[in-house]
Chain A
Amino acid sequence: MKKMNDNILKTTYVFIGLFTILAVYLLVYLFTDSREDINNSYNKRQALLAEKVVRGSILSNDLNILAQTVVDENGDETRVYPYDELFCHVVGSFDMGTYGLEASYNFDLLTSESSIIDEVVADLNNEKLIGNNIVTTLDIQLQNVCYEALGQYDGAIMIMDPKTGDVLSMVSKPGYNPNDIEKIWNDIKDDDNGRLLNRVTQGLYPPGSVFKLFTLGKYIDSNKDTYDDYSYTCEGTVSFTDFSMKCSNKKAHGHLDLMSAFANSCNCAFVNIGEAINSDYLKEYCNEKLFNQDLPLKIPYKTSSFTLNSSDSEFIKCQTVIGQGETLVTPIHMCMVMSSIVNDGILMEPRFVTGITDKNGNTVKSYEPEEYTQLYSENDSELLKEYLREVVNTGTAYRLKNDNMDIYGKTGTAQINTTGMADSWFVGGVETESGETYAIAVVLENVSENTSPAVVVTKEILEILDK
């Protein structure tokens, strides 16, 4: 009998242990992971939190208000966006479904960092708590310049800081005024122009000659000892059995080495280079450079697609290596690739938010820059910089040449169809004398085929970085 009781006692300890684990785990979970977990678009309880908390503000990198909730004397709340259309896609909007950062940080904005006593007092007085603010990386001046530079064009511009991954500017047109979203909702929700769409992350464009960066990269990769000896004589067109490829305006570039072929964006030379590359290996290389891959982003985005494989026809392959074909890319993807080239091959995660503050401005949580991956080796990034620099020094982006800054990049003109209209690209890196660095991606839609307005737009933006 005594012996049985001893065993029962031991069993009891086991179960007291199990009960304790339950209680402790529950408490630890509430104070740690649960905050991350409940900030999920599947959590329908956000509407309930909004009844207890006044939504916090979204701030720019210098703590100006980009979005805030104003409460009138009747207690009615209005979400106000002081910059109207300027930040409509990246900050997003709130009243007709949530978009942009309003959506990604919904729960943080609806969480109030109050003491337990404040919470009880507010509850007993039937008052609302003030939600936390999010401090973004967005720079109002840069955003404004990009917005103005894009002008009447539809398209997208993104600028990021390659060292931190900070997203300084993100413009997409056409946009809408988030202050009026309820009034204009019926117009914009089915709009063919996709005014709600953030083209920087969700717009899929043919890359045009921008893609030559990847064809070049793969060629250098697999011809490490001989790429310097490459030479080609361009006659403006090159014929195959049942089709022919031509350079822009059928311009004959004459004798070219690898660097001048790239700088002048010579299609004929790149078709020739493409013949030396195995399609499957090119696909593998592109997958490494984040084609067909998920990106580390908290806002909605599309993945860039590259579908070429060895069973495709020669025509498709020739198209693909010069950036026509089936390939589609997002501006943010191109900006990230550039950012890694600027930053010695290291890609930082694009960072939109540096921290969360309470209503008094005290930091509740901060987000540090995070390295995402080594996209290029340090040598490769240096080498590609040289090629890209040549584009600005002697090639298609000569208009950007600037003695005060190191500028390198690649232009692109992607024909959309046979109408003679095209998308115009510039992607590149900038290093100023004071040591600041930027990665930039610009794409303009529906420009006439033989102009490259993206370079002009970029030039306007660079002027502000120059100061």
Chain B
Amino acid sequence: MQEIIIAISKYSIIILMAFYVYESFQAIRDTDDLKKRKYCFKQTFIMYLVHALCYTTIYLHTLQDKIIIFYGVQLIYFILVIEICKLIYKKYNRPLMNVMCMMLMISFTMLSRLSYDKTIRQFIICVGATIVAMTIAFFMKKVKKMREFSYIYAILGIGALSLVYALGAVTYGAKLSIDLGFVSVQPSEFVKITYVMFISGILYKSQTWKSVLLSGVLAAIHVVVLVFSSDLGTALIFSVVYLFLVFMATGKYSVLFGGLIAGSGAAFVAYKIFDHIKVRVAAWIDPWSIIDNKGYQIAQSLFAIGTGGIFGMGLYEGMPNSIPVVDQDFIFSAISEEFGAIFGICVILLSLNVFLIFIRTAFKCKDDFYRLICAGFAVSYGIQLFLTVGGAIKLIPSTGVTYPLLSYGGSSLMSTIFIFFIVQGVKINEEDE
């Protein structure tokens, strides 16, 4: 009986997820409010069903009561977030809220399976971050001068990154975090927000070469400090975000292509200088010949994805924990192993959905500052996703970046939730005017 429920759940989850993705894309098309509400309702229904099936499966495998309690608490959280937002912000973006909740549900499910204790921690951070984030739209309305502080954002960002360089703890060869005793913080995750705001703040006002150059120098300082900390994945994200923000603000192809060429040159130089880039490139070109050491992680990731196949091994029926750092850099491989590649592709499509919602919000803005921050966040989210999934499936060398909202890690989760609510805030404030 138990096996049958688990097997039925496995396939139901995949089918429901495919429907969810379909409804998500319907919901962001230009349609009348009534239809939109219908799609969102279906989305909400499917999402809770998937969540329930996932936790049923987890319970049947573990038979621990704490799983049921944890599920109950999560359910309350999701209902409250959606209902409270509905109550205080009439114009909030419901499809974006739904996709965010769905991603969090998938994340909590996968992390619970990998490590229950870590998930509790992650959940608590999520609740805290959401409470703070829900006030963002309100503040955005009150503090109209948000856009005037470009230089302060830049200084804050550079300062925080320099602090990591000076005091940071080394993990996997890179300085990423500052240990505050009771908790360790990864400032670069929050700098992702100030970084987009400072560039947008400079470029929305004037699109002259002078502004491009000025923002470029400040952005370059960010990147250089990151490179010194060996946080090369983030340095790459920051570089790409700058180039596309400049392109979107000014339409200057020369900056985009010149930057990409210069970036490739820089990447080649970095490859020559940094041993840990050489290691990652070697592991990307042929993990099998060096599977004992350098290629181990990527080989395990490919084993997971390959063995999982189209339908996956089923929750608890794979071996995702054999992939080093699975809950951060390789969460996608774990999802693909146990939920299957169809589900994995659905997750990628949901991320595309998030990207498009950010872009649509940018499109509809009357205010260029808001337009640029939304588009900037979209690019930042999109490139990060490409790097993390591409690394896991060996399309590109692994860059050690996390999957926004899915990976374990408090700072990443917090900053991503803030970004989602800033985009919500843009929509709410734009429509109020």
Question: When the two chains form their complex, are residues B306 and A7 in contact, meaning their CB atoms are under 8 A apart?
Answer: no
Q: Is B307 a contact of A38 with CB atoms below 8 Å?
A: yes
Of B40-48, B69-77, B355-363, B416-424, the one touching chain A: B355-363
**CB-nearest residue of chain B relative to A21?**
B395
**Nearest B residue to A6 by beta-carbon distance?**
B251
Q: How far is the CA of A11 from the CA of B240 in the complex (A)?
A: 12
Which one of A12, A22, A116, A124 contacts B393 once the chains associate, using CB atoms below 8 Å? Answer: A22
The answer to whether A42 has its CB under 8 Å from any CB of chain B is yes
B362/A37 in contact, CB under 8 A: no
A23 contacts chain B at the CB level, 8 A cutoff: yes
User: How many Å lie between the Cα of A15 and that of B241 in the bound state?
Assistant: 12
**Is B344 a contact partner of A26 (Cβ separation < 8 A)?**
yes
A30 contacts B by Cβ under 8 Å: yes
- In the complex, the answer to whether B352 meets A4 with C-beta atoms within 8 Å is no
B351 closest partner in A (C-beta): A19
Residues of A in contact, count (CB < 8 Å) = 40
> Within the complex, which residue of A11, A35, A44 is in contact with B322, where a contact is CB–CB below 8 Å?
A44
Cβ contacts under 8 Å, A119 to chain B: 311
A124 in contact with B355 (CB, 8 Å): no
Residue A96, interface by CB 8 Å: no
- In the complex, A49 Cα to B308 Cα: how many Å? 10
CA distance A8 to B250 in the complex (A): 10
Stretch at the interface among B4-12, B123-131, B147-155: B4-12
Contacts of A120 in B (CB 8 A): 11, 311
Residue B386 at the chain A interface, CB threshold 8 Å: yes
**Are B371 and A48 in contact, with the CB atoms below 8 A?**
no
Complex contact A8–B359 (CB within 8 A)? yes
Contacting pair B307 A11 (CB below 8 A): no
Answer yes or no: B248 CB below 8 A from chain A CBs. Answer: yes
Report the bound CA distance from A26 to B391 in whole Å. Answer: 11
Chain A residues whose CB sits within 8 angstroms of the CB of B351 once the complex forms: 19
Could you tell me if A48 and B251 are in contact, using CB atoms closer than 8 angstroms? no
Known: A7-B248, A30-B309, A124-B7. A40 touches B362 (CB 8 A): no
Q: Which residue of A lies closest to B306 (CB)?
A: A34
B240 to chain A, nearest CB (A): 10
Asked if A25 and B395 make an inter-chain contact with CB atoms under 8 angstroms apart, the answer reads yes
Once the chains bind, are A12 and B244 in contact (CB under 8 Å)? no
Number of B interface residues in the complex (CB < 8 A): 60
Within 8 A of A (CB), among B274-299: 288, 291, 296, 299
Q: Are A8 and B319 in contact (CB under 8 A)?
A: no
Residues B303 and A40 in contact, CB atoms below 8 Å apart: yes
State whether A16 touches B352 (Cβ < 8 A): yes
Least CB distance, A266 to chain B, in whole angstroms: 45
Q: Indicate if the CB atoms of B303 and A42 lie closer than 8 Å.
A: yes
Q: Give the CA-CA distance A22 to B389 in the complex, in Å.
A: 7
Chain B residues near A51: list those with CB within 8 A: 317
Q: Does B117 contact A (CB under 8 A)?
A: no
Q: Known interface pairs A30-B310, A42-B299, A124-B11. Does A4 touch B305 (Cβ–Cβ under 8 Å)?
A: no
Please tell me which one of the listed residues A19, A23, A25, A126 contacts residue B4 in the complex, with CB atoms under 8 A apart: A126
B382 x A15 contact (CB < 8 A): yes
Q: Are B302 and A11 touching (Cβ within 8 A)?
A: no
B348 touches A30 (CB 8 A): no
Of the candidates A12, A19, A35, which one forms a contact with B359 in the assembled complex, judged by CB atoms under 8 Å apart?
A12
Within the complex, what minimum Cβ distance (angstroms) separates B205 from chain A?
13
Does A43 lie at the interface of the complex (its beta carbon under 8 Å from any beta carbon of B)?
Answer: yes
Contacts of B8 in A (CB 8 A): 124
Which residues of A (1-58) have their CB < 8 Å from a CB of B?
1, 3-8, 10-12, 15-16, 18-19, 21-23, 25-27, 29-30, 34-35, 37-38, 40, 42-45, 48-49, 51
A123 interfacial by beta-carbon distance below 8 Å: yes
In the bound complex, CA of A6 to CA of B344 (Å):
31
What 1/0 mask marks residues of chain B from 346 to 387 whose CB sits below 8 Å from any chain A CB?
Answer: 001101100110010011001010011001001100110110
B247 within 8 A of A: yes
B259 interface hit (Cβ, 8 Å): no
Q: A8-B248, A48-B318 are in contact. Are A38 and B303 (CB under 8 A)?
A: yes
> Do residues A19 and B362 form an inter-chain contact, with CB atoms below 8 A?
no
Residue B216 CB within 8 A of the other chain: no
B345 at the A/B interface (Cβ < 8 Å)? yes
Whole-angstrom distance between the alpha carbons of A215 and B127 in the complex?
79
Instruction: Check B348–A48 contact: CB distance below 8 A.
Output: no
List 14 extra interface pairs beyond A43-B307, A124-B4, CB under 8 A.
Answer: A8-B371, A8-B375, A15-B382, A15-B383, A19-B386, A22-B386, A22-B395, A27-B345, A29-B393, A30-B310, A45-B307, A48-B307, A123-B10, A126-B4
6 contacts between A and B (CB under 8 A): A5-B371, A8-B375, A37-B288, A40-B291, A120-B311, A123-B10
